[in-house]
Structure 1
Amino acid sequence: MKRREFIRLGAGAMASLPLMHLPSALAGHNQNKRPYKQLGVQLYTIREQLAVDYKVPLKTIASLGYKDLEFAGYFEHKPAEIKRYMDDLGLVSNSTHVRLPALQNDFDSILETAHTMGQTYIVLPWLEEKDRDSLDDYKKHAELLNKRGEQAKSAGFQMAYHNHDFEFIPLDGQLPYDLLLERTDKELVKMQLDLYWAIKANKDPVQYFKKAPGRFPLCHIKDRAADGSITTVGKGSIDFDALFKYADLAGLQHFYVEHDDTDQPFQSLRSSYNYLYR
């Protein structure tokens, strides 16, 4: 269904998606309640569409009002070509996700691509099960993050780490997430808090904002359905307004909407945008 939706949108996306909720119409919205000046999209949401082509999906995202794209690979498209097209659409990319093997073995290339794309944040988004068996594994990851964080900072970039729920499962009496916070330098390694995954693990994001103020310049926004699964923002139980009251304390600057698994990603993104700017 995702592929069919992509083809349908390719033929008429601009005409079919209403544009009444764009930022230009929102000059008076409550900045205290909604601290985001603009919203972004984690492009994993539309990975199947991007695997076919990038122009129609990115044009559609721009038409919905989103401005900031967080990449999770380039699907064999050339980053420089994507960047030129983004410039034409008025889109920016402040962040990219890179997997552990690339972080370990190809960091120079990562920095080069980030420079091409105009990105600041380089985020480790996921650990394979074999890479998170023990606290010693996490200690090694913290060491690597510090090393890459220092290299990134010297080149004008910033390392960060993105969580799922497994970091909140105790290992030998300690939460791996807490270990990462403690063993990484707060200036070299920031955290991208995925609000859904933290809450799914029964953790309160606000407590982490208080525990490590200023450490969370990025977040992922997705909602939690009654059965615990991911759903479109506004369709679930997460009180985003309550969380975002602590945006300044957290240091939040970049807000990325994401839906990991939906047959209608563009409709989900539109609905999420409208909810967050309601």
Structure 2
Amino acid sequence: MNRRTFLAGAGSAAVVGVALAAAPSFGAATGRKFGIQLWSVARMLSEDFEGTIAMLAGLGYRELETYGPYTFSDPRQIENWKKTAAMLGFSGSGFFGLTTAQIGATFARHGLTVPSMHTDLFTLQTRMGELAEAAHALGATYVTLPSLPADQRQTFDDYKRAADMFNAIGKDATRHGVRFAYHNHGYGLVPVGGKVPLETLIEATDPAHVFLEMDTYWSTAGGADCKAYLARYKGRYRMVHLKDMKGDHRFPGDGGAPSDWIGMFPYLTYLGDGSLDMAGIIAAAKESGVEHFFVEQDRADDLKVAIAGSAAYMKKIGFE
């Protein structure tokens, strides 16, 4: 079981004005588009795919990040998803029963593009050809690993081995005309023997083949300074998951266990409704070379209010 198991259902459709009032203005529009990780609305997509996509477009989202498994994913991940889906109470993932051409046409009809596809480690290792083919069909640049399996991040040496594995995956992705990216949660940020595992992993991977996706909430929960990481590893972070935090909180443990994530859910909120320096983080991300900004809402008391609030915030600060 992982944090994805705890998705909250959709709530009312009311659009809040709090984010608009709280968000700072950057003045002239940046011209940048903002997007959303589709896991945020997974249950809604399972119940009404086309209606949910239309709703996202209507709120101003212009980019999407998909999540797997897909029909072409490694069979082991497809089996894993069946077990997770049984707990979640819905089974939609990947292209939600549509062909690549059909889902691409649906997105295009609503003015949406897909820069990144989240996938699993098995598929990255055994189905890169099929994954890249789908990415090319949708116009996606990045094939992204949302987390490193727990059994492969237990020790500092595990992170060294992960770096070698990522280099191999990254080179394979490059050969297939896509880019491999790694999305880190809050684990790997506690020093071990004076060294931070995530930093060792980043520094041991080839910047020509391995890219990064930051999660503002989980990085903060793990004790990281998002702006400092973006500045230190300039050019490595190409995508960001944006989510806000009420108050200033950290994992009770090292961020590696589901209990750590569950304990942090009550503080999760939409952009502009929390206390993170979202404007500063976004400015640092732009300076660092981040290309895509995805809202992600792991849970919410009222999901539609949350994704509407985040969209309002992004438009307020100059995104299109």
Work out whether the TM-score is over 0.5: yes
Distance 1:215 1:103 in 2: 19
Does residue 42 of the first structure (1) align with residue 37 of the second (2)?
yes
**How many angstroms does 1:104 deviate by?**
2.3
**1:64 partner amino acid:** L
Q: Residue 160 of structure 1 aligns to a residue in which SS?
A: strand
Q: 144, 148, 157: which is aligned to 1:127?
A: 148
**How many angstroms does 1:227 deviate by?**
6.9
Paired position in structure 2 for 1:77: 97
Counterpart contact for 1:165–1:200, Cα < 8 Å: yes
Instruction: Note the residue ranges of structure 2 that are not aligned, 5 or more in a row.
Output: 1-6, 20-24, 69-93, 250-266
Counterpart contact for 1:219–1:255, Cα < 8 Å: yes
Q: 291, 300, 303: which is aligned to 1:253?
A: 291
Paired position in structure 1 for 2:177: 156
Counterpart contact for 2:160–2:201, Cα < 8 Å: yes
Counterpart contact for 1:40–1:256, Cα < 8 Å: yes
Distance 1:2 1:163 in 2: 22
Q: 10, 30, 44: which is aligned to 2:27?
A: 30
Distance 1:48 1:97 in 2: 17
- How big is each residue's C-alpha offset from its partner over 1:86-143, in whole Å with a ceiling of 9 and x where there is no partner? 1111110000111122222222221122122211011111123222111222222222
Counterpart contact for 2:10–2:44, Cα < 8 Å: no
Does residue 268 of the first structure (1) align with residue 306 of the second (2)?
yes
Q: Quickly say closer, same or farther: Cα 1:149–1:57, change in 2 above 3 A.
A: same
Paired position in structure 1 for 2:85: none
Q: How does 1:9-24 map to 2 (within 5 A)?
A: none
Q: Quickly say closer, same or farther: Cα 1:75–1:171, change in 2 above 3 A.
A: farther
**2:144 partner amino acid:** V
Counterpart contact for 1:218–1:253, Cα < 8 Å: yes
Out of 246-255 and 71-80, give the one that drifted further. Answer: 71-80
Q: 239, 249, 259: which is aligned to 2:277?
A: 239
Does residue 55 of the first structure (1) align with residue 50 of the second (2)?
yes
Counterpart contact for 1:221–1:258, Cα < 8 Å: yes
**1:267 partner amino acid:** V
Distance 1:151 1:263 in 2: 41
Counterpart contact for 2:9–2:303, Cα < 8 Å: no
**Cα-Cα RMSD:** 2.5
Out of 171-180 and 204-213, give the one that drifted further. Answer: 171-180
**1:30 partner amino acid:** G
**1:231 partner amino acid:** T
**2:139 partner amino acid:** G
Distance 2:189 2:143 in 1: 22
Counterpart contact for 1:216–1:250, Cα < 8 Å: yes
Counterpart contact for 2:8–2:299, Cα < 8 Å: no
Distance 1:115 1:263 in 2: 36
**How many angstroms does 1:41 deviate by?**
0.2
**How many angstroms does 1:29 deviate by?**
6.2
Instruction: Note the residue ranges of structure 1 that are not aligned, 5 or more in a row.
Output: 10-15, 22-27
- How big is each residue's C-alpha offset from its partner over 1:210-245, in whole Å with a ceiling of 9 and x where there is no partner? 211111111010001127421111111111112223
Distance 1:117 1:54 in 2: 17
**How many angstroms does 1:4 deviate by?**
6.6
**How many angstroms does 1:162 deviate by?**
0.6
Distance 1:205 1:4 in 2: 29
Does residue 64 of the first structure (1) align with residue 59 of the second (2)?
yes
- How big is each residue's C-alpha offset from its partner over 1:31-65, in whole Å with a ceiling of 9 and x where there is no partner? 5xx75611100111011122234211111000001
- How big is each residue's C-alpha offset from its partner over 1:54-88, in whole Å with a ceiling of 9 and x where there is no partner? 21111100000100000112164233211111111
Counterpart contact for 2:128–2:176, Cα < 8 Å: no
Q: Quickly say closer, same or farther: Cα 1:247–1:2, change in 2 above 3 A.
A: closer
